[in-house]
Amino acid sequence: MIARIWHGRTKKEHADKYWKFLTNNAEDDCRKTKGNCGVSVYRRIAGDYADFMFISLWESKEAIHNYAGEDIEKAHYFPEDLKYVINPPAQVEHYEIFSV
């Protein structure tokens, strides 16, 4: 199993709105993609910012292609993300999962 991990940051005043967007859109999109094994979304408010971590679990790197396309290292964004995320990272990280 592979974990795909994305980190992003918004202004604190956008935290609730972006949280709702992530859970209603990006999370749903991942969950309905063949090969997805689950999604977790995390948020931390620190000062004037909200940090988000989006972790999706996949059967294999091949399954990630169903969601992310050919370049699975590239972050997958919806237009709405770009309204809120400050300096959106271009890349995501992938980790093999050995135990849960």
Q: What is the rounded CA–CA span in Å between residue 56 and residue 36?
A: 7
Sorted by where each starts, the structural domains of the chain and their CATH numbers stand as 2-96 (3.30.70.100)
At 44-74, the pLDDT tens digits run: 999 999 999 999 999 999 999 999 999 999 9
Tell me what percent of the chain is helix, strand and coil, each rounded to the nearest 5: 30, 35, 30
pTM over 0.75: yes
CB of 97 closer than 8 Å to CB of 66: no
Q: What is the rounded CA–CA span in Å between residue 13 and residue 11?
A: 5
pLDDT score of 17: 96
| Strand arrangement, sheet containing 49-58 | 36-46, 49-58, 2-11, 93-96
